[in-house]
Amino acid sequence: MSISNSKTKLLLDFGGTDLKIATSQGNEPGSIKRVNVSTLLLKKADVRFYESRALISLFEENIAPILDSGDIGSVYIATQMGCGYAYSESETEAVTDAEILSWQSMSGEQQLKRLSLEMRHAAGNDLQFGSPIFTLSNLAQKYSIGNVGTRRVDTLGGLIANWILGYKTAIRHSTDAFSLGGYSSSSEFERLEMCLELKLPEVTLGVDSLGFSSRWPHAEVFAPVGDQQASLLGISLASNELAVNVGTGGQLVMLLDDEHSIIEDCQIRPYFGGNWITTKTHLPAGRSVAYYYCLWRDRFDGDFSEFLALSEGAENFKSSRTLVIDFAKLSNTRKSKNAAEALLSGKREDLPRALALGMGRCYAETYSKFFRNQGTITRLVFAGGLGTGFLGFRRTLADLLQLEVREVNLEETTMSGLAKLSDFNFRA
């Protein structure tokens, strides 16, 4: 083991669109480099995946030179939910040629059907069709990856950590292990592993050191974490706050003291320090905003910042003199596309602003319908690129929910959360 005297941290955030890279010597990241990774996501039948060789080449080009400098003392990693891969423990290399499956894969339905209802609930969360463990179980059995005793699955964060370390580790923080689709320490979990014919990572509640790199002995690698949880840490989410995360996807999040708390239609996910969060997922966000913005741009020839600026006038929603379009029933279907294009064919001078205002109102009303205040929430806090920039949406949602807004002046909340990890010893 090597001991580093450097206080410089390397921060890595692998998201759905970009790999973000920064260094830090405090609790905020320095300048952030973005490397597009969306083009690396491939599709074969019903499986979406990254090729590990392509990812390793990306790491060698963009991360290795920073580690080669000898200035890095510690490495902190966050990754998107739901990416994993399978390998055989008999392999000696730290990184395999396995495909890194995305959460967007929809395979392994038979594996889920084989589980009893009790086993599903004993897995740390409600197991769902499309979770990586089912797709990986299906593929591992189909292509005979290893044997039943040596097949193991790992996370995307684990792949990055093992590449830097130069050897395999199987310990993963709960927020990272969760992204595979299920984890637990109960006896039922062993039955789950037997049913899937896979060995899942060993779960830790602390952001523990995984060891020092054999290639870069000065660099100590810490257990990867989930990007959602790192983002919440970045904004310092409090127990009386509702986090509204609007990026590529949309979520509503609250802190919980008890993993057994039940909130309808929400997922219970692990957080730091043995705490939990409840998350309402699959809310409209960046993907659908981009769709409607493209329609707006094709008609009015304005950039995205102008589109968002026009959505700021929440106070005009009640004005009878302002045309406001209701997008509530529009979605990415042929019928709704025709309806939206018909709206865009109008000639009223206030139509560009009306469309932007209508978008903000529609999103705010949609999000407000899923919030059930149990008497503990007094404040909103927004995260994500659209969460901080979509002012019309923010103002309207705060008005609908009758909650104050705490401003967060951070461009990259996930990277800020990573920078804070070493300053907080998050353990159970």
State mean pLDDT over 10-33: 91
Residue 215 has pLDDT above 90, yes or no: yes
Q: What are the tokens at 92? A: 């000696």
Find, among 209, 269, 272, the residue nearest to 236 by Cα: 272
Residue 154 has pLDDT above 50, yes or no: yes
Find, among 182, 175, 172, the residue nearest to 222 by Cα: 172
Measured in whole angstroms, how far is the alpha carbon of residue 290 from the centre of its chain? 19
How much of the chain, in percent, has pLDDT values that exceed 70? Answer: 67
- Distance (Å, rounded) from C-alpha 360 to C-alpha 218? 49
pLDDT at res. 332: 42
Among the ranges given (86-90, 106-110, 255-259, 371-375), the one the predictor scored with the smallest mean pLDDT: 106-110
- Distance (Å, rounded) from C-alpha 359 to C-alpha 354? 8
Half-sphere exposure of 139 (CA within 13 A, CB side): 27
pLDDT at res. 96: 45
- Dihedral of alpha carbons 230, 231, 237, 242, sign: negative
Does domain 236-409 match CATH 3.30.420.40?
yes
- Going from N- to C-terminal start, the domains of the chain cover 9-227, 236-409
pLDDT at res. 322: 42
Q: What are the tokens at 65? A: 């030179």
- Distance (Å, rounded) from C-alpha 403 to C-alpha 223? 36
Find, among 112, 102, 17, 33, the residue nearest to 65 by Cα: 33
CATH ID of 9-227, from 3.90.1720.10, 3.10.310.30, 3.30.420.40, 3.40.50.620: 3.30.420.40
pLDDT at res. 131: 66
pLDDT at res. 270: 84
- Distance (Å, rounded) from C-alpha 162 to C-alpha 185? 23
Residue 147 has pLDDT above 70, yes or no: no
pLDDT top residue among 9 and 361: 9
pLDDT top residue among 209 and 299: 209
Residue burial 46-85, b: 16+ Cβ < 10 Å; e: rest: ebbbbebeebbebbeeebeebbeeebbbbbbbbbbbbbbb
